[in-house]
Protein backbone atom coordinates (compact mmCIF):
# COMPACT_ATOMS: atom_id res chain seq x y z
CA UNK A 1 0.00 0.00 0.00
CA UNK A 2 1.29 3.46 -0.85
CA UNK A 3 1.04 6.52 1.35
CA UNK A 4 -1.59 7.95 -1.02
CA UNK A 5 -3.70 4.77 -0.77
CA UNK A 6 -3.41 4.81 3.01
CA UNK A 7 -4.37 8.49 3.06
CA UNK A 8 -7.48 7.80 0.96
CA UNK A 9 -8.46 4.97 3.31
CA UNK A 10 -8.10 7.20 6.36
CA UNK A 11 -10.52 9.67 4.78
CA UNK A 12 -13.13 6.92 4.40
CA UNK A 13 -12.66 5.74 7.99
CA UNK A 14 -12.83 9.17 9.64
CA UNK A 15 -16.13 8.99 11.48
CA UNK A 16 -15.36 11.07 14.56
CA UNK A 17 -17.04 14.31 15.62
CA UNK A 18 -15.70 17.32 13.66
CA UNK A 19 -13.98 15.09 11.08
CA UNK A 20 -12.73 17.15 8.17
CA UNK A 21 -13.53 20.50 9.74
CA UNK A 22 -10.01 21.61 10.66
CA UNK A 23 -11.36 23.00 13.92
CA UNK A 24 -9.38 23.05 17.15
CA UNK A 25 -11.60 20.22 18.39
CA UNK A 26 -10.52 18.05 15.46
CA UNK A 27 -6.85 18.94 15.89
CA UNK A 28 -7.01 18.20 19.63
CA UNK A 29 -8.77 14.88 19.03
CA UNK A 30 -6.19 13.79 16.46
CA UNK A 31 -3.17 14.99 18.45
CA UNK A 32 -4.40 13.25 21.59
CA UNK A 33 -5.14 10.11 19.58
CA UNK A 34 -1.63 10.16 18.14
CA UNK A 35 -0.14 10.61 21.60
CA UNK A 36 -2.28 7.81 23.02
CA UNK A 37 -1.46 5.32 20.28
CA UNK A 38 2.25 6.22 20.47
CA UNK A 39 2.08 5.56 24.20
CA UNK A 40 0.47 2.18 23.59
CA UNK A 41 3.24 1.32 21.12
CA UNK A 42 5.84 2.35 23.69
CA UNK A 43 4.11 0.16 26.27
CA UNK A 44 4.40 -2.84 23.93
CA UNK A 45 8.14 -2.20 23.60
CA UNK A 46 8.43 -1.97 27.38
CA UNK A 47 6.64 -5.29 27.80
CA UNK A 48 8.74 -6.97 25.12
CA UNK A 49 11.93 -5.72 26.75
CA UNK A 50 10.75 -6.62 30.22
CA UNK A 51 9.84 -10.17 29.22
CA UNK A 52 12.66 -10.97 26.80
CA UNK A 53 15.57 -8.86 27.99
CA UNK A 54 17.92 -7.52 25.38
CA UNK A 55 16.86 -9.80 22.50
CA UNK A 56 16.97 -8.50 18.95
CA UNK A 57 13.63 -7.80 17.31
CA UNK A 58 14.49 -10.22 14.50
CA UNK A 59 15.06 -13.00 17.05
CA UNK A 60 11.52 -12.81 18.43
CA UNK A 61 9.62 -15.65 16.77
CA UNK A 62 6.12 -15.24 18.19
CA UNK A 63 5.27 -12.88 20.92
CA UNK A 64 1.81 -11.46 21.59
CA UNK A 65 3.20 -7.98 22.20
CA UNK A 66 4.98 -8.03 18.84
CA UNK A 67 1.64 -8.49 17.06
CA UNK A 68 0.02 -5.83 19.28
CA UNK A 69 2.85 -3.42 18.49
CA UNK A 70 2.14 -3.70 14.77
CA UNK A 71 -1.51 -2.79 15.41
CA UNK A 72 -0.62 0.17 17.65
CA UNK A 73 1.88 1.54 15.12
CA UNK A 74 -0.82 1.32 12.46
CA UNK A 75 -3.20 3.26 14.69
CA UNK A 76 -0.53 5.90 15.35
CA UNK A 77 0.05 6.19 11.60
CA UNK A 78 -3.69 6.65 11.03
CA UNK A 79 -3.83 9.53 13.53
CA UNK A 80 -0.65 11.10 12.09
CA UNK A 81 -2.03 11.06 8.55
CA UNK A 82 -5.39 12.48 9.68
CA UNK A 83 -3.65 15.21 11.70
CA UNK A 84 -1.46 16.17 8.75
CA UNK A 85 -4.58 16.38 6.58
CA UNK A 86 -6.48 18.44 9.17
CA UNK A 87 -3.54 20.89 9.21
CA UNK A 88 -3.73 21.06 5.41
CA UNK A 89 -0.13 19.84 5.08
CA UNK A 90 1.39 17.40 2.61
CA UNK A 91 2.70 14.25 4.35
CA UNK A 92 5.33 13.72 1.66
CA UNK A 93 6.59 17.27 2.20
CA UNK A 94 6.86 16.61 5.94
CA UNK A 95 8.87 13.46 5.27
CA UNK A 96 11.19 15.31 2.88
CA UNK A 97 11.72 18.19 5.33
CA UNK A 98 12.51 15.68 8.06
CA UNK A 99 15.11 13.91 5.91
CA UNK A 100 16.80 17.25 5.11
CA UNK A 101 16.84 18.11 8.83
CA UNK A 102 18.37 14.73 9.68
CA UNK A 103 20.95 14.98 6.91
CA UNK A 104 22.03 18.39 8.20
CA UNK A 105 22.16 17.12 11.78
CA UNK A 106 24.09 13.95 10.94
CA UNK A 107 26.16 15.02 7.96
CA UNK A 108 29.02 12.72 8.93
CA UNK A 109 26.88 9.60 9.15
CA UNK A 110 24.49 10.03 6.19
Q: What is the CATH number of domain 3-105?
A: 1.10.287.1080
Q: What is the pLDDT of residues 3-45, one digit of tens each?
A: 999 999 999 999 999 999 999 999 999 999 999 999 999 998 8
Residues 45-87: pLDDT tens digits?
Answer: 888 877 777 667 666 665 677 889 999 999 999 999 999 999 9
> What are the sequence ranges of the domains in the chain?
3-105
Q: Answer for the pair 85, 4: CB distance below 8 angstroms, yes or no.
A: no
- What predicted TM-score, i.e. pTM, was given to this entire model? 0.85
Residue 63 Cα distances to 56, 70, 73, 77, angstroms: 13, 11, 16, 22
Amino acid sequence: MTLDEFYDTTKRTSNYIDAGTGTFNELAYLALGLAGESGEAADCIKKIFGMTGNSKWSELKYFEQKDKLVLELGDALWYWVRLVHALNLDPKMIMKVNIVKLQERYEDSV
